[in-house]
Chains A and B, each alone.
Chain A
């Protein structure tokens, strides 16, 4: 079975600064997908970024980027130029390569962006 661990229950960052959220996972699979989801106070789950394990290049989406270290089974999220709207719970999630398999989530990191 796969497990996902987010070791930072809470973090804070000053507006316009950069912050990195950690995620590690355990799997015996060689190919899979990794995701970061954001859940703001509205509780709507929003996809932030996804990474295919067979791609060596780290995914980026505007101010969001990941550092994917397959051998170390690490998948951290970097948020640059933090904005007040980035305040949310952030969940790391794992999915097997085969289609339509459920996500396995970490317990989340609560990020507060301070003005």
Chain B
């Protein structure tokens, strides 16, 4: 089946620890995105990538890092510099066309121990 997968479903982070959220798609989409969702805040953009080996910061990139070594994969690392990482993280992808609809993965819930 074609789609977007995110793992793990739940992730626990200890203080000072870096953690990596996985996002994989087999839709042959060029662009991929990471959004953060907090209660009452809607979705806010962390990073996005329009092509392999290139990515741009979003509105809340501080404390996060990404890589785009393969078209199918766009992992997000939450570093120890992110002081309030507890949130729901959503990955999305879209085709390389104007107005290309973004399709979302099932999300990862990150909690701090």
Q: How large is the interface on A (under 10, 10 to 19, 20 to 34, 35 or more residues)?
A: 20 to 34
Residues of A54-87 at the interface with B, using a CB-CB cut-off of 8 Å, are: none
- CB of A102 within 8 A of CB of B99, answer no
For residue A100, CB closer than 8 A to chain B, the reply is: yes
Residues of chain A within 8 A of B104, CB atoms compared? 37, 44-46
| Distance in Å: Cβ of A112 to nearest Cβ of chain B | 16
Contacts of B98 in A (CB 8 A): 97-99
Binary CB contact string for chain B from 28 to 58 against chain A (1 if under 8 A, 0 otherwise) = 0011010100001111110010100000001
Asked if A108 and B106 make an inter-chain contact with CB atoms under 8 angstroms apart, the answer reads: no
B101 touches A43 (CB 8 A): no
Of residues A95, A100, A105, A106, which shows the largest number of chain B Cβ atoms within 10 Å of its Cβ? Answer: A100
Q: Give the CA-CA distance A45 to B44 in the complex, in Å.
A: 14
Chain A residues positioned under 8 Å from B92 (CB to CB): 45, 103
Instruction: Find out whether the CB atom of B100 lies under 8 angstroms from the CB atom of A35.
Output: no
Bound: A45/B33 CA distance, A: 14
Closest residue of chain A to B38 (Cβ to Cβ) is: A107
| Residues on the B chain within 8 Å of A9, using CB | 40
Name 15 interchain pairs, CB-CB below 8 A, sorted by A: A35-B101, A43-B88, A43-B107, A44-B106, A95-B99, A99-B97, A100-B96, A103-B33, A103-B35, A103-B43, A103-B92, A105-B35, A105-B43, A107-B41, A108-B42
